[in-house]
Structure 1
Amino acid sequence: MKSLKSLSLGRNLFSGSIPYGFGNISGLETLNLSGNNFSGKVPEDIMQLSNLTTLNLSNNKFSGEIPVGLGDLLSLVVLNLSSCGFAGAIPGSIGNMMKLTSLDFSKQQISGELPIELFGLPSLQVVAFQENRLSGDVPEGFTNLVDLQYLNLSSNGFTGRIPSSYGLLQSLVVLSVSFNRVSGMVPLELGNCSDLEVLQLRSNRLSGNIPGDLSRLSHLKELDLGLNHLDGEIPDEISRFSSITTLFLDGNHLSGNIPELLSKLSNLTALNLSSNNLSGSIPSSLSNMISLKHLNLSRNYLEGEIPSALGSRFDDPSVFSMNRELCGKPLKKECANVRNRKRRKLILLIVIAAGGAFFVAVFCCGYIYGLLRWRKRLREWGNGEKKRSPTSASSVADRDRGGGENGGPKLVMFNNKITLAETLEATRQFDEENVMSRGRYGLVFKATYQDGTVLSIRRLVDGSIDECTFRKEAELLGKVKHRNITVLRGYYAGPPDLRLLVYDYMPNGNLGTLLQEANHQDGHMLNWPMRHLIALGIARGLAILHSLSIVHGDIKPQNVLFDADFEAHLSEFGLEKLTIDTPAEASSSSTPVGSLGYMAPEASLTGQPSKEADVYSFGIVVLEILTGRKPVMFTQDEDIVKWVKKQLQKGQISELLEPGLVELDPESSEWEEFLLGVKVGLLCTATDPFDRPSMADIVFMLEGCRVGPKIPSSADPTSLPSPI
């Protein structure tokens, strides 16, 4: 077909090597073989297509190095080799393609330094090298490419400093050097890039102040300087970013107050200032930012009362957590001025009540005294004194210490009254047939009452703590409420060592069973949106526990329960204070600090649970949700984390997919969302506990994985109705 000019075979299921013969189509100008399973090497005859202007081989499974012969395609304008599986260095012959405007070598295993020949391509506008293994200093040679609009060097091993000469790139729209080892200061010359819309320098070793000169970037929409070593105050000039929608400055050493002028950023939708050294009060003007959807001010030294409008709008405590001197809604920490105001009101009320009681007592005493004097005078006026008839003082002793009321302990319900007798009948005297699960803290029974109410009753093992302490701990545990945790509805404490906890009944079982059923049905019952919501629900539940300084200690699929709407509820938390000994019925794979396959390495060594260990266990659960593979399926030499990393390094992304997700389109947003979910799981399972993100940050990341209506992240008693 000598006259054929365009051939597109992309997004099919072709496999094997690319056949020879394409070189015979001498008139070919566009060749698209992307999104297949081609392997092996690229045929050399493709390098003979002298008229070729566009070559797209992305998302395949080639091997070896990038073909040197690509340099013979002198007419090439667009070259896309993203996610191809190539390794090794970039050939210098790439510098022969003088007409090239777009070059995409992203998401491969390319290593070494960038060839200097690359910087002699005068027409280059798009350069994408993210997610490779490139090294060396950040190249200054890109300054020669005066038409450059997109430069992405993120997720590599670049070092050195960001060249100040990048400020000469007047056409630059996107600059991303995130997730490298770049040091030095943020060049103030970047303020000269007048067309810049996205500046991403996250997770490097940048230091110094945030340059106020960046405020000259009038078109900037996203600025991400998070996870660096920046210090000083947030400059007031930052308020001049009139177009900005995303501002991430988290994980630095910034100090001083949050600038009032931030409220001028009318288009801002996401603001993250967490994990810094910011102090002072939260400006009330932040409440006026109507476009703001995501906010994180946690892990600072902020103080004072949270502005009421801001606290009502962002009612998740994790947004403001880890600020010791911060108070007000939604932290459930009352401010000192509010306490003093209430105390003054209480004192005034007591004084008024005491004064009123005093005057009533004086009036009553005066009335009785006057009455007695009047009666005495009547008697004196009489003609003969009559003897007083003795008054009959009837004394009634009506103290029934056991007849009228049961003196023993009662079943305490927070929202309704259910007796112990009804509970015994509902569980058939705790019959074995009504056991729903067995765990470290005893048996869980299904209780079906005569009025149709169904509850879950946990019977703790013998050897529990004393009755008084148990009641105190149960009352505290009953105050922990969130839509993604199992809320304690009531309790019972009575002899002989009978301890009961009452929860809502979860009719749809646990996550472990659901994943097992999904595997048997090729995963079709668990599509990507549902898996994402499950992971997000677990993250929100665990985040609220951590914000209350509650460590779970045993995150695993069996401890994630589902209600009638298949919403995830985290269970089995806060029970260690209600028992003394670990029961014999507990699973042999379970320890005081986790379960086999889900336990953090440091927890297995120290035997101590921690928030960081919870984050690790959550990461394992996320990887299991996304891949469908249980941690116990792997050997001691290769766990699920190593297996996932190996597939990513090989570029075999489809190997990660559970059968029900294999239909995800590699070109779709859901594919990118899935990969983001995998990366969240890997971040959570970092070897060093201090490298793992907090659960609040994980919730923020998972919420950003998927675009859709925001689901409320917390609940008060009014939005958490009890079924009884």
Structure 2
Amino acid sequence: MFPSWLANATSLKALDLSGNFFSGILPAEVGNLLRLEELRLANNSLSGGVPWEIVNCSFLQVLDLQGNRFSGQIPTFLGDLRSLKVLSLGGNIFSGSIPTSLGTLSQLESLNLSNNNLTGIVLEELMGLSNMSALNLSNNRFSGQIASSIGNLRGLQVLDLSHCGFSGSIPASVGSLMKLTVLDLSKQNLSGELPIEFFGLPSLQVVALEENHFSGSLPEGFSSLVSLQYLNLTSNSFGGEIPTTYGFLQSLVVLSISQNRMSGRIPAELGNCSGLEVLELRSNRLEGNIPGDISRLSRLKELNLGHNNLTGEIPDAISKCFALNSLFLDANHLLGHIPYSLSNLSNLTTLNISSNQMSGKIPANLSLISSLKYINLSSNNLEGEIPADLGSRFNDPSVYAMNPKLCGKPLHKECANVIRRKRKRLILFIGVALAGLFILAMCCCGYIYSLWRWRKKLRAGVTGKKKRSPARASEERGRGSGDNAGPKLVMFNNKITLAETLEATRQFDEENVLSRGRYGLVFKATYADGMVLSIRRLPDGHNDEGTFRKEAEELGKVKHRNLTVLRGYYAGPPDVRLLVYDYMPNGNLATLLQEASHQDGHVLNWPMRHLIALGIARGLAFLHSVTIVHGDVKPQNVLFDADFEAHLSEFGLDRLTLATPAEASSSSTPIGSLGYVSPEAALTGQATKEADVYSFGIVLLEILTGRKPVMFTQDEDIVKWVKRQLQRGQISELLEPGLLEIDPESSEWEEFLLGIKVGLLCTAPDPLERPSMTDVVFMLEGCRVGPEIPSSTDPTSLPSPA
């Protein structure tokens, strides 16, 4: 509640309680603060109306009530605060129209009414406030056109009317706002051509006109705005060619003209925009080649030219854009080869050349770009064999699909040269076998001939000695032929042969695939006796059998009821590496959360979510206690047995896929998954216990809120979103639909908030400030003030491998 005792501090001049958790109403006693000049209560949970007693604060210059839950109409008595310079009522639930009394605030410099439910028209009275420097009416439901009298606000520097429902054209009087630096008219129903007066504003730095219905040729007048840094014209109906004079805008940082009707070529003069970091021209009708002058854009981070009619080869000059982070050329009509020079893009993280007409072979040196995290070459005319290093690093077949002449791993299509090599090997093997059989036959014939001669001499009595028994010709022949049962899997508790496993998976048929990942495929194996297991087939091994067996034996000793325990393994030629686990019939956490959000499957209540989170924490804490770092904690790696108990999977597999620990430490395999990887792990590429704690924190917040990390934008992740809801006091916004029935007065509500706080502790920006997983288990066990939860901290009672 608002601290009413503050009303007794009558000599107070400034009161700032912003960013707290105050709720309830703003008491009428606030009118007792007669000397008050600044009242800042932003980002709380205050509700109700603004008390009329506030007009007693006649010296009030700043009134900031932004980010609360005030409702009703904006009070007309606010017009009596004649000393007011700053009025901020944004982010509330005000409705109705803007009161005319606000037009009497002659001293007003900043007015913020954004993010409310205001309707009607914008009053002419507001256009007489000559001292106004910032006007923000965004995200409301006004109607009509932008008032032509807006040009009277000669001191205006910031004008934000985005997403307000205005229609018609931009009035020419905007050209009178000579001090204007920021103009945001995006997401409206504005139409027509831009007025020529618009291009005479010398201080304009930001122009946002996206998602409107503007038409006509793309105005050349923007090139006269020498201070322009941000220009976004996306999703309009501009046509014609991109003016070459845009090359004069050397201060331009962002140029976005996507989803228009632009035609012609990309002007080479854009290479003069030395400050450009983002260039978006997708979904137009551009044609011709990509100009090589783009190489001069040394600061370029994102280039998006998708969905056009571009032709020719990707120019070698692009390889000089060393700061380039993302390159999207998807769904064009590009012709030619992927140039060898792409490998010079040393900072490239994303390469997407899908859905074009690229031809030729994939350059082998693409695998040398160490920073590359994502690649998509699908739907082209590429041919030849996928470079081995690239295929093993990006082993998802979909990124190479729809290239009819492409072959090699990970595609299930062998190349002609490989088939020829196998054929030569087969012919050589048959030749050697035939030669061996011929030599064996000759030896047998010689032996028989010698025996025949010896018997003949015996009969003739040549030796004159006592007859001796002839040696047995085949006394030892055939010994050591071995067991006929075939090679066996090494099982820690029972015996299974490789032949039985092949039959149980139908020769590793695609229909039996349970999951795919960077550690190979996981198959469901149903044996003849009814036993069901999970068989992981690792990618073709880089390590020898001895190293693999040693590491598998060690991994088999890691046992805990919340981990997927290794039950056996197989290592044999040619490079076949198998791992045997218990079969988890109830899928993974990602699927379970998705079913719960749609209420088509299991609806997860709070106790179930808490048990799942606690199980994951216990399993991860046990891994850390035996000095194993997981490296990729995410919902897809949390599996459920028949009793819906959580089991953490995909750990300790790096040692089984690399030859030596030294190679494991120098592996360039990406760490973690998008949305769950910690900032420092994404930067260094090193998996640590602290990074595991961060990933667990993200998973915990997803379990509690039902929000996936990938749902958020680059500017707001799930952690920032949760913190913002807490600051606003909008706790109910955090509840996943399956938890909406939690009573705010119940113990479960308190337990839920404690779980949220644990998630925020785990995702602290500084790794040293994050708790250990042992502490996390302790805190999560303390979250439940209800019935006791059975302990799962002890390892399973299954015996360790011999």
User: Partner residue of 1:230?
Assistant: 310
Deviations 1:355-377 (A, max 9, x none): 12221222123223423443444
Query: One-letter code of the match for 1:291?
Result: S
Is 1:515 paired with 2:598?
yes
Query: One-letter code of the match for 2:716?
Result: S
CA contact (8 A) 2:185 2:209 kept: yes
User: Partner residue of 1:273?
Assistant: 353
User: Partner residue of 1:680?
Assistant: none
Distance change >3 Å, CA 69–CA 85, structure 1 → 2: same
User: Secondary structure of the equivalent of 1:134?
Assistant: strand
Higher RCO (C-alpha 8 Å, min separation 6): 1
Is 1:199 paired with 2:284?
no
User: Partner residue of 2:524?
Assistant: 489
CA contact (8 A) 2:132 2:155 kept: yes
Deviations 1:400-422 (A, max 9, x none): xxxxxxxxxxxxxx9999xxxxx
* Ranges in structure 1 where 5+ consecutive residues have no aligned partner: 387-413, 418-449, 452-467, 494-499, 527-535, 539-561, 568-658, 675-707, 709-724
User: Secondary structure of the equivalent of 1:205?
Assistant: coil
User: Secondary structure of the equivalent of 1:55?
Assistant: strand
**Alpha-carbon distance in 1 for matches of 2:211, 2:645:** 40
Distance change >3 Å, CA 672–CA 126, structure 1 → 2: farther
Distance change >3 Å, CA 13–CA 667, structure 1 → 2: farther
Distance change >3 Å, CA 479–CA 327, structure 1 → 2: farther
Query: One-letter code of the match for 1:339?
Result: I
CA contact (8 A) 2:218 2:240 kept: yes
Distance change >3 Å, CA 260–CA 67, structure 1 → 2: same
User: Partner residue of 1:353?
Assistant: 433
Is 1:299 paired with 2:355?
no
CA contact (8 A) 2:513 2:524 kept: no
CA contact (8 A) 1:506 1:563 kept: no
**Which of 65, 83, 87 lines up with 1:7 in the alignment?**
87
Distance change >3 Å, CA 501–CA 474, structure 1 → 2: farther
Query: One-letter code of the match for 2:598?
Result: L
CA drift at 1:242: 2.8
User: Secondary structure of the equivalent of 2:343?
Assistant: helix
Is 1:669 paired with 2:716?
yes
TM-score norm. by structure 2 comes to 0.52
Is 1:34 paired with 2:114?
yes
Is 1:67 paired with 2:67?
no
User: Partner residue of 1:185?
Assistant: 265
Distance change >3 Å, CA 513–CA 123, structure 1 → 2: closer
Distance change >3 Å, CA 492–CA 342, structure 1 → 2: same
Query: One-letter code of the match for 1:477?
Result: E
Is 1:109 paired with 2:192?
no
**Alpha-carbon distance in 2 for matches of 1:17, 1:7:** 16
**Alpha-carbon distance in 1 for matches of 2:121, 2:404:** 59
Is 1:243 paired with 2:323?
yes
Is 1:477 paired with 2:524?
no
Q: Quick check: 46-55 or 34-43, which moved more?
A: 34-43
User: Partner residue of 1:285?
Assistant: 365
User: Partner residue of 1:92?
Assistant: 172
User: Partner residue of 1:322?
Assistant: 402
CA contact (8 A) 1:505 1:563 kept: no
CA drift at 1:284: 1.7
Larger radius of gyration: 2
Deviations 1:658-677 (A, max 9, x none): x9779x99996259999xxx
CA contact (8 A) 1:135 1:158 kept: yes
Is 1:121 paired with 2:201?
yes
Is 1:213 paired with 2:293?
yes
CA contact (8 A) 2:145 2:168 kept: yes
CA contact (8 A) 1:506 1:564 kept: no
CA drift at 1:15: 3.7
* Ranges in structure 2 where 5+ consecutive residues have no aligned partner: 1-59, 61-81, 468-487, 495-502, 535-582, 613-633, 637-643, 650-704, 722-764, 766-802
**Alpha-carbon distance in 1 for matches of 2:605, 2:713:** 25
**Which of 128, 146, 167 lines up with 1:48 in the alignment?**
128
**Alpha-carbon distance in 2 for matches of 1:48, 1:102:** 20
Distance change >3 Å, CA 270–CA 371, structure 1 → 2: same
Query: One-letter code of the match for 1:74?
Result: R
Query: One-letter code of the match for 1:260?
Result: Y
Q: Please give the residue correspondences for 1:669-688 in structure 2 after superposition, counting only pairs within 5 Å.
A: 669-670=716-717
Distance change >3 Å, CA 11–CA 667, structure 1 → 2: farther
Query: One-letter code of the match for 2:524?
Result: R
TM-score norm. by structure 1 comes to 0.58
CA contact (8 A) 2:505 2:523 kept: no
Query: One-letter code of the match for 2:373?
Result: K
User: Secondary structure of the equivalent of 1:130?
Assistant: coil
CA contact (8 A) 1:415 1:489 kept: no
User: Partner residue of 2:629?
Assistant: none
CA drift at 1:333: 2.4
Q: Quick check: 200-209 or 219-228, which moved more?
A: 219-228
Deviations 1:383-405 (A, max 9, x none): 9xx9xxxxxxxxxxxxxxxxxxx
User: Secondary structure of the equivalent of 2:334?
Assistant: strand
**Alpha-carbon distance in 1 for matches of 2:635, 2:331:** 25
Is 1:374 paired with 2:374?
no
**Alpha-carbon distance in 2 for matches of 1:6, 1:250:** 48
CA drift at 1:513: 5.4
Query: One-letter code of the match for 2:122?
Result: V
CA contact (8 A) 1:296 1:319 kept: yes
CA contact (8 A) 1:80 1:105 kept: yes
**Alpha-carbon distance in 1 for matches of 2:300, 2:401:** 30
User: Partner residue of 1:410?
Assistant: none
User: Partner residue of 2:753?
Assistant: none
CA drift at 1:519: 10
Is 1:311 paired with 2:391?
yes
**Alpha-carbon distance in 2 for matches of 1:233, 1:672:** 43
User: Secondary structure of the equivalent of 1:7?
Assistant: strand
Is 1:148 paired with 2:225?
no
Distance change >3 Å, CA 474–CA 192, structure 1 → 2: closer
CA contact (8 A) 1:149 1:174 kept: yes
CA contact (8 A) 2:513 2:521 kept: no
- The total of aligned residue pairs comes to 487
Query: One-letter code of the match for 1:71?
Result: G
Q: Please give the residue correspondences for 1:576-587 in structure 2 after superposition, counting only pairs within 5 Å.
A: none
CA contact (8 A) 1:474 1:491 kept: no
Query: One-letter code of the match for 1:88?
Result: G
User: Partner residue of 1:77?
Assistant: 157
Query: One-letter code of the match for 2:423?
Result: R
**Alpha-carbon distance in 1 for matches of 2:511, 2:130:** 74
User: Partner residue of 2:548?
Assistant: none
User: Secondary structure of the equivalent of 2:389?
Assistant: helix
CA drift at 1:189: 2.0
CA contact (8 A) 1:487 1:504 kept: no
User: Partner residue of 2:343?
Assistant: 263
CA contact (8 A) 1:35 1:666 kept: no
CA drift at 1:35: 3.0
Query: One-letter code of the match for 2:329?
Result: L
Q: Please give the residue correspondences for 1:482-631 in structure 2 after superposition, counting only pairs within 5 Å.
A: 482=516, 489-490=524-525, 505-506=585-586, 511-512=594-595, 514-516=597-599, 564=646
Query: One-letter code of the match for 1:157?
Result: S
User: Secondary structure of the equivalent of 1:303?
Assistant: strand
CA contact (8 A) 1:257 1:278 kept: yes
**Percent of paired sites with the same residue:** 56
**Alpha-carbon distance in 2 for matches of 1:565, 1:234:** 47
Query: One-letter code of the match for 1:80?
Result: D
CA contact (8 A) 1:202 1:227 kept: yes
**Alpha-carbon distance in 1 for matches of 2:142, 2:437:** 92
CA drift at 1:563: 10
CA drift at 1:79: 0.7
